[in-house]
Amino acid sequence: MNNTRRDIRALSKEELRTFFEGVGDKAFRGNQVYEWLWQKGAHTFEAMTSLPKATREMLAAHFSINHIKVDVMQRSSDGTIKNAVRLHDGLLVESVLIPTDTRTTACVSSQVGCSLNCSFCATARLKRMRNLLPDEIFDQVKVIDEQSRTFFGRPLSNIVFMGMGEPLMNYNNVMKAIDKITSEEGLGMSAKRITVSTSGIPKLIRKMADDEVKFKLAVSLHSAISSVRTGIMPFNEQFPLEELREALAYWYQKTKNRITYEYVVWKDINDQKKDVEALIKFCRFAPSKVNLIEYNPIDDGEFKQADPKALELYQTMLEAAGITVTIRHSRGKDIDAACGQLANKGVNS
């Protein structure tokens, strides 16, 4: 691959128009190319048949199209599909299509690996290799939209940033990808059907509130007791719970959007009454929803799913405190596609 050529999809429509003017051509060619790239999903310049051949060759000399490629597509017995996605530089990420009776949800990655080292998550073992580019995020969504149409006869309905990586650590590119996904020139999806999930970086939660984003926010909390959370999510020391709570209160005050907490209950870690009490106290400041996620074992031991009794305790106490609670069972476990299992297992990297 010739690395001196620029990825053409990093250019806005205006920049493309300016480029064509700069080479003595008509600005409207920029609109045509933009349409080929973003509406028609062209993977090569040759495919842009409404452009003169010489123009296509000129573009190929200046630019590359760093399209993603699905290396392996695995289908779970429950209908879930996992894509191993090859990036232009050979690195791999994973994205997942999760079907229900009425919806198709895309779970997409924002980074190759992850810089946070949550001890229960398989992605953390990969470390962070690089941030995904806006079009690499967009492409994962586009691929899943096409798969949804092919296999389920309906378009994609929801997107969750719950794949590999921490979306807020790749803030600008994630926001650009969401702009493209929601724009009429991209997929025209409503931002209300997009959820960004974060481990909780206070400064960037405030920034999202200031940027008046329209998507939903989910926070992977797992414990509202500082020492417990630091034990399983070590960066909690750097971004203390109190700061997180204040940032979330700011988010709610600005957006009036209910906050969802993702929460796994583990045996002997956070399965006691005091843990539930701390959670209730933590989320009292705004309307909240708690998703109790089933634990997906990633290796041999340390973490064990709590007894059903502990989940009942959470459910009863949270409901009594007026907090919505749902218990989520994992999908796609047989192909390592469930939460926390994305680690490029079963494909050559």
The token pair that represents 118 in the structure block: 């949550």
The least CB distance from residue 140 to ligand SAH, in Å, is 14
Please identify, using beta-carbon distances, which residue of 306 and 339 lies nearer to ligand SAH. Answer: 339
CB of 328 to ligand SAH, least distance (A): 9
Q: Does 296 bind ligand SAH (CB under 6 A)?
A: yes
Does residue 136 touch ligand SAH according to CB under 6 A?
A: no
Cβ distance to ligand SAH smaller for residue 65 or 265 = 265
94 an active-site residue? yes
Quickly list H helices, the chain.
13-22, 28-38, 53-62, 134-152, 171-182, 202-210, 226-232, 241-255, 273-283, 308-320
Neighbouring CB atoms inside 10 A of 90's CB total: 8
Amino acid at 120: F
What is the number of H-type helices and E-type strands within the chain? Answer: 10, 14
Q: Which of 59, 98, 112, 121 binds ligand SAH (CB under 6 A)?
A: 121
Q: Is residue 197 a contact point for ligand SAH (CB under 6 A)?
A: yes
Taking CB under 6 A as the criterion, the residue among 104, 199, 223, 288 binding ligand SAH is 199
Q: Is position 170 an interface residue for ligand SAH (rule: CB under 6 A)?
A: no
The two three-digit tokens of residue 264, written as one number: 């796994």
Residue with tokens 């799913």: 305
Q: How far is the CB of 107 from ligand SAH (least distance, A)?
A: 8
Q: How do 69-75 and 81-86 pair as beta strands?
A: antiparallel
- Residue 141's CB is within 10 A of a number of other CB atoms, namely 22
Beta-bridge mates of residue 63: 6
Catalytic-role residue among 107, 121, 283, 339: 339
By CB under 6 A, is residue 30 in contact with ligand SAH? no
* Among positions 87, 232, 264, 279, the unique one binding ligand SAH when judged by CB under 6 A: 264
Residue 177 engages ligand SAH in binding (rule: CB under 6 A): no
> Considering the rule CB under 6 A, would residue 344 count as an interface residue with ligand SAH?
no
Q: Is the Cβ of residue 209 or residue 217 nearer to ligand SAH in the bound state?
A: 217
The verdict on 205 binding ligand SAH (CB under 6 A) reads no
269 counts as binding ligand SAH under rule CB under 6 A: no
Among this protein's residues, is 283 annotated catalytic?
no
User: Could you tell me which of 349, 347, 340, 348 has the C-alpha nearest to residue 125?
Assistant: 340
Give the residue from 7, 136, 133, 138 showing the smallest Cα distance to 60: 7
- Nearest-CB residue to ligand SAH? 340
Selected range binding ligand SAH among 133-141, 146-154, 295-303, 308-316, rule: CB under 6 A: 295-303
How far apart (Å, rounded) are the C-alpha atoms in residues 195 and 160?
5
Cα separation, 118 vs 186, in Å, equals 34
List residues near ligand SAH by CB under 6 A: 120-121, 162, 166, 197-199, 220, 262, 264, 293, 295-296, 298, 339-340
Q: Which residues are catalytic?
A: 94, 339
